[in-house]
Amino acid sequence: MAEESPQCAHHNCLCKIGPSMLASDLADMGAEAKAVIAGGADYLHLDVMDGHFVPNISWGPPVIESLRKSVGEEVFFDCHMMVSDPIRWVEPIKASGGTQYTFHIEAADGKEVEVAKAIADAKMKVGVALKPGTPISAIASVAALVDMVLVMTVEPGFGGQKFMPNMMPKVLQLRTEYPMMDIEVDGGLGPATVDAAAKAGANMIVAGSSVFKPGSDRSETIRVLRRSVEVHGNGKAD
């Protein structure tokens, strides 16, 4: 028998669906971004990897700047910074068009308050991310300064990994301790796994492969993800 997913108390945090552009057709990323926004996405999730903090390289400020020019100023860019020395990239990401700067607590080297304040001073939203093995207690010093906490449901660095349901107690603990906080989950999310995240209290859902799978109905996938959060997280009637 499958283990029952933990259920949070219903909350009022708005559901937001963010397609992960790393899973898109990178040769046509501007068109892909416009298509998912037209299909109901609330924001774009942009994975920045430096080859040091994670063993992979993706893109940096020049690509973000080009995508910003393509989609316009109104689209929310959640920049997931899988980089060493996160404070170094705050100003370049702001200049390239970032809306939210989500740094990893593990990369902050004890300077998470300084990083969070630098992000806020740059007029971006502040996000902090936790690897699967990092406890919630790691963000205690910075929780009051952030707009969002990202709970990784895969090991960061590569797309297409399987969702880790054992991260859901961490999401539930966050929702319980910070009932008004935006809580994002990233990794292996799709129609088959979103209910567990929604029940635990996540309201921001990053979805890559499930949205960009060739031949899929992207708007329908986004609708299913949203409805799960509204039903299981917000308590709306099914």
Chain centroid to CA 2? 27
d(CA 43, CA 66): 16
- Catalytic position from the list 50, 78, 182, 186: 186
Burial track 86-124 (b if 16+ CB lie within 10 A, e otherwise)? bbebbeebbebbbbbbbbbbbbbeeebeebbbbbbeeeb
- Catalytic position from the list 47, 50, 78, 182: 47
182 is catalytic: no
Contacts of residue 19, defined as CB under 8 A and 6 or more positions apart, other chains included, come to 36, 41, 44, 45, 206, 207, 208, 211, 212, 218, 222
186 is catalytic: yes
| Cβ atoms of 125 and 173 closer than 8 Å | no
Active centre residues (catalytic): 47, 186
